[in-house]
Amino acid sequence: MINNKIKAWLNNSLVTHLEGAKPGTVISTLAFTPKSAGNYLITHADRSRDADYKKVQMPNFYAARLQRHFGKAVIKDAKTFDEFFSAYQQAIKSTSLAGQSEFIKNLKHLIQVSNKIETHGGKVIFIRFPTSKLVWEVDNQRYPKEKFWRVIAEQYPRSINFSDYEKLKKFKAPDGSHLDYRDKKEFTASLLKILQMKIFNKK
């Protein structure tokens, strides 16, 4: 236990502990960027994570996240970020819906597994966490709420979609996919209140 705590403290404190970085990247960062902010993502001993988006370069980071989420490069020679994001905006509009038959099949299996867990005393809740910016537009184009989430809510009422709650949809993800650690406490408190009222019938 003590060893784990010491290791966790060291990992959280060392500037050289950069998430996923090769040794050469760490050395060059320290040598040529003496004021480097260090790793933006910290993994704690309990496996929870804090993301500090003030340590990343925007909009570069967001642009990379959008491209990964979309699944392919839409434009390779953009001269400005406005041009880059405009290209993705147009590409998203022409994106096809995800396959509904496969979705229904997977949902059926997921509900069966969830029901088995509940028969053994567990509690399974489906939660759609926030996305924003063009990442949200990708999600909404491929999986529009009225065609996909509606099916989930009808077949498994113990479900929460962030977009149905003012206290949840006000949170904006800096990279379109993840919340900054500064929002974590407030978001969790708001989500717990909704869970208590909707799922556990408590005020």
pLDDT digits (tens, 9 = 90+) for 82-129: 999 999 999 999 999 999 999 999 999 999 999 999 999 999 999 999
Report d(CA 82, CA 128) in Å as an integer.
29
Mean pLDDT of the chain: 86
State which of 51, 74, 89 marks the end of a domain. Answer: 51
Output the pLDDT for position 21.
53
Could you list the residue range(s) of the whole structural domain that residue 150 is in? 100-199
pLDDT at residue 198, as a whole number: 81
Is there a single domain that holds both residue 120 and residue 44? no
pLDDT score, position 142: 97
Per-residue pLDDT, 32 = 55
pTM recorded for the entire structure? 0.80
Mean pLDDT of 151-165: 96
Instruction: Give domain status of residue 66, yes or no.
Output: no
**Count of the separate structural domains present in the chain:** 2
Instruction: Label residues 87-98 b or e (16+ Cβ within 10 Å = b).
Output: ebeebbeeeeee
Q: Are residues 40 and 113 in the same domain?
A: no
Is the residue at 71 inside a domain? no
Closest CA to 177 of 66, 95, 96, 87: 66
Query: Is 86 within a domain?
Result: no
pLDDT at 130: 96
